[in-house]
Amino acid sequence: MQNKRITLAITGASGAPYALRLLECLLENGYQVFVLMSSAARVVFATEEGLQIPASPDKASEFFQQRFQVAPEQLKVFGKDDWFSPVASGSAAPKQMVVCPCSTGTLSAIAHGASDNLIERAADVVLKERGQLILVPREMPFSSIHLQNMLTLSNMQATIMPACPGFYHQPSSIGDMVDFVVARILDHLGVTHTLTNRWGYQPSAR
């Protein structure tokens, strides 16, 4: 598991289903996942999924461990001010991090190195250590400020992956559309999956 470690940050943009599905897939693939969750993200989870995520990091850890039936060492939630967590230091942080969904406020803070909370610091660590940072913004339309921040991060070798589902796989449910976005994230992480039919293949019968 030491070689399959990843940080998943969940912020207050719309898109809780993307975060849940991505977390599920990472755990199923044997990843140790360090989860960072903003207070706004908990509001979104309650609104979009009807899930009340505890504010306490320990209680939130237990919530997700029970939901996905994984051992405590495979999933750990850290608080926004937990500066002694592994993700806060280049000597211990995973080399891969995904912010899904990524609010435009978090996008801006990361682009400008704010590091005012653990999500921003963790992303800063991945950038400075030349790791893999994937940001999944969910907003429309984008303002010039948003676009400039994306360009700034792209120039730092971060990957910008807006939550834009495709339709060539002929989705028949919201779950299919969620899987399309999550599949593309997993592709970039190098995680094998069978969530969607790839371009050029006939969609399976429904």
Domain boundaries, the chain: 5-189
Rounded mean pLDDT of 113-130?
98
Which pLDDT belongs to residue 197?
Answer: 82
Q: How many CB atoms lie within 10 A of CB 194?
A: 8
> Tens digit of pLDDT for each residue in 33-67?
999 999 999 999 999 999 999 999 999 999 999 99
Which pLDDT belongs to residue 201?
Answer: 66
Which pLDDT belongs to residue 169?
Answer: 87
Alpha helices in 143-192 (DSSP H): 144-155, 174-189
Question: Looking at the predicted structure, is the pLDDT value of residue 202 above 70?
Answer: no
The domain 5-189 having CATH identifier 3.30.365.10: the answer here is no
Distances (CA, A) of 19 to 9, 11, 175: 9, 9, 12
d(CA 35, CA 43): 16
Which pLDDT belongs to residue 199?
Answer: 82
Question: Looking at the predicted structure, is the pLDDT value of residue 143 above 60?
Answer: yes
Q: Please, what's the b/e burial string for 57-91 (b: 16 or more CB within 10 A of its CB; e: otherwise)? A: beebbebbbeebebeeebbbbbbbebeebbbbeee
Instruction: Return mean pLDDT, the chain.
Output: 95
> Tens digit of pLDDT for each residue in 154-196?
999 999 999 999 998 899 999 999 999 999 999 999 999 999 8
Question: Looking at the predicted structure, is the pLDDT value of residue 200 above 90?
Answer: no
d(CA 197, CA 200): 8
Residues in the chain: 206
d(CA 38, CA 48): 15
Q: Could you tell me the pLDDT band of residue 204, with boundaries at 50, 70 and 90?
A: low
Q: How far is CA 106 from the centre of its chain?
A: 12
Q: By the 8 A CB rule, do 31 and 193 touch?
A: no
